[in-house]
């Protein structure tokens, strides 16, 4: 693998206030772990497919689960969004909406023909 993706120092300084306080032993490098989490999610990988440059895949997974449950990512997103002010435009991406399995049977029941017929008449 070429040089691994890492968050910059400036990016880490912006989001450090949202991380939980450290207790006990120092954690593995948060920058490397968070970069690994972003890499896995952005590329749609399974945790065990994460490149070794980001550390053990079990560490990436455990930290993702722990931080998700603690609301760390929600705080990061809310904090960064608040810095940007009110947006001029909002867009919704609905490409991942799923139809219920019974939606396929609507055609058999004749519901689509009634709707299409009404449009043709108009």
Residues contacting residue 106 through CB under 8 Å, at least 6 positions apart: 112
Q: What is the pLDDT of residue 2?
A: 65
The structure tokens 């590329």 sit at 43
Q: What is the pLDDT of residue 91?
A: 81
Burial state string for 19-45 with b = 16 or more CB within 10 A and e = fewer than 16: beeeeeeeeeebbbbbbbbebbeeeee
pTM of the entire structure?
A: 0.65
Domain ranges of the chain: 9-83
* pLDDT tens string 5-56: 889 999 999 998 888 877 777 666 888 999 999 999 999 999 999 999 999 9
Q: How confident is the model at residue 73 (pLDDT cuts 50, 70, 90)?
A: very high
Run of H or E including 110: none
**For residue 116, how many other CB atoms are within 10 A of its CB?**
10
């Amino acid at each position: 693998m070429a040089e691994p993706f890492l968050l910059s120092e400036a990016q880490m300084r912006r989001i450090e206030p949202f991380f939980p306080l450290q207790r006990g032993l120092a954690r593995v490098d948060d920058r490397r772990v968070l970069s690994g989490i972003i890499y896995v999610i952005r590329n749609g990988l399974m945790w065990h497919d994460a490149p070794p440059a980001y550390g053990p895949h079990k560490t990436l997974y455990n930290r993702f689960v722990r931080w998700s449950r603690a609301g760390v990512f929600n705080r990061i997103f809310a904090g960064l969004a608040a810095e940007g002010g009110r947006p001029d435009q909002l867009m919704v991406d609905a490409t991942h909406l799923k139809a219920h399995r019974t939606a396929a049977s609507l055609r058999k029941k004749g519901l689509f023909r009634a709707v299409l017929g009404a449009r043709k008449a108009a």
